[in-house]
Chains A and B, each alone.
Chain A
Amino acid sequence: MAPISIDAAALLTSVQSIVPEIIVVATAIFVLLLDLAISEEKKHLLCGMGLLGIGVALFSVYALGQGRIEGFSGMIVHDGMGAFFDVVILSACALTFLMATGYSEWEGTHKGEFYSLILLSTSGMMFMAKGTDLMTVFLGLETLSIPIYVLVGFHRNRMSSLEGALKYFLLGAFASGFLLYGIALIYAVTGTTKIPVLATMLYDPRILASPLFLAGTGLLLVGFAFKVSLVPFHMWTPDAYEGAPTVVTAFMSAAVKAAAFAALIRVLLVALPGMQPVLWKVLWGLAVLTMTVGNLSALVQNNVKRLLAYSSIAHAGYILVGLVSGDVLGGQASLFYLLVYAFMNMGAFGVVMLIAQKEDEGYDIANLAGIGFKYPALGALLTLFLISLGGIPPTAGFVGKFYLFSAAVKNGYIWLAVIGVLNSAASIYYYLRMVVYMYMVTPDVEVAVPRPPRILFSMALCASAVVVVVLGIIPRSVLEIAERSVLSLLM
């Protein structure tokens, strides 16, 4: 047998296309080893090292730019879309680390594993967002999921944490199975798992009509729908979100959703545009169902974490609205909304984390009573994040929703936009209910004393607030980047 020749140039490009991921994985390993070497009181170093790694990775994304770099014979690609989601995911990861500085101290999660798992999960997300082969997407999904299962159950002495982790793990394992089976069926019909090649296959009407291919696409969608928690695949979300350590909940709601949507967008826009005439009905139904069930369930929640969990389900529905039409306008709106959502939702979780003080106890909505006037900064920040989640101007949440619904209208899905706007209006009730509790309800007992935030924690909250306000006033440049990202996908 002839020696296998390795093209040095191709190898270099391949490595280049995953530089940010390599940095994140290397940081994860370094943090794990550092944990063994340092003493108990120096554990905050772990968080610092993690942040440094994320910073370097972000810089490498910036240095790579939005140019298209294909690696590993078309398994992975660094393009505008990949770069955009790398930034979203790494930002969410950075916010998580900044918040973890305080959280770990209060709840005793200052452990190498904790940070290492978050970083490993982040690397999986980045691979998922950049995968141009269904196998890479699946591997990324697994790499992101397994550490998250562990992180949800990180408070292993609390029943709710374990319950959430077990539910998430069992349902997640099934969802992975669905996804993989879908990929297998698609491969059986088309003979390829490469996303761009699939698109060309769909010009063949025989493949489009094949029941095997339809079943495969359906299973693929179920797998993704589970990860972004679309109704009716959302059952795990409230329990997992409630049970998980709150930093992890924040991380999951922002980053996991972004990564899964990234892969979904790539599959829908690149591989399956030929399916759009059939698929839009499914997506339309999922979007309407997700928005409505998410919002209606959130209306009756009294636990803030559960409330935000249902609100995150509803938000997945809004984001899906942009994908129904399968065009650039909608995709761009979805990308923009995912970025905005990461910041506003993590910000909201951050403030709630400070007010709640203790896991399992302080998350009742009544605990917010009287916070607004006694702690004006916290009250103002939470109000800002909540009105942004509700979609009230001048926040980024409003701009995001505006573009999502206007994309739906421009593509002729008027009813979808109407249902979306009605849902958004209903959601304002439960967001403002929290604000009312903060400012207008006199507490029965004394006002809860929030934890004094660390400097890094405050930085995370301020950064989120700045992003929410700035993107609400001048969204143009980021929208343009989002548009270029989607266009880079379709090239």
Chain B
Amino acid sequence: MANLVSSIQFADPYFSVLLLLIIAVGMSVGFVFLSQALGPRKYDRIKYSVYECGVDPFTSASVRVSVKFYLVALLFLLFDLETAFLYPWAVLFRDLGLFGFIEMTIFVGILLVGLVYAWKKGALDWQ
């Protein structure tokens, strides 16, 4: 055991990633087993019923969702990604200067074309 511990290279830059991985997997798996081990066990009808915010389910869960929701989800994805890129740029705005500004304008401009297109095609009308 001591040999194993000493063979791990703590200085390795990827060690923290490994550590994070171990903690993340360990926590999620650990909680499942903990609740299995510590939780009281009562199996009855209610326990096996579908859980829906404490209310009795009144329809089947597998219904067809209107295609409009997918449109909204797609548009959300588009602008969510945009934000993901805008944040680091905003942090580095002063350092990147004019070059960064022009790059970002092109990027946002192309996304804007997407929005205009979706708008004109009626993707934003909830009808």
Contact = CB atoms under 8 A, between A and B. Distances in A.
A36 B114 CA distance: 12
B99 A6 contact: yes
A33 B116 contact: yes
B113 A29 contact: yes
Interface in B92-107: 92, 94-97, 99
B110 A1 contact: no
A109 to B, nearest CB: 16
A340 to B, nearest CB: 36
A32 B95 contact: no
A32 B97 CA distance: 31
Contacts of B117: 32-33, 36
A108 interface: no
Interface string A31-62: 01100100000000000000000000000000
B42 interface: no
Contacts of B120: 36
Interface residues of B, number: 12
A4 interface: yes
Nearest to A116: B117
A36 B116 CA distance: 9
B94 A32 contact: no
Given A33-B116, A33-B117, A11 B95 contact: no
A29 B113 CA distance: 7
Given A36-B117, A36-B120, A3 B97 contact: yes
A11 B113 CA distance: 25
B95 A1 contact: yes
A33 B95 contact: no
Nearest to B113: A29
Contacts of A29: 110, 113
Contact of A4 (B95, B110, B113, B116): B95
Interface of A: 1-4, 6, 11, 29, 32-33, 36
Interface of B: 92, 94-97, 99, 110, 113, 116-117, 120-121
Given A3-B95, A4-B97, 7 more contacts: A3-B97, A4-B92, A6-B97, A32-B113, A33-B113, A33-B116, A36-B121
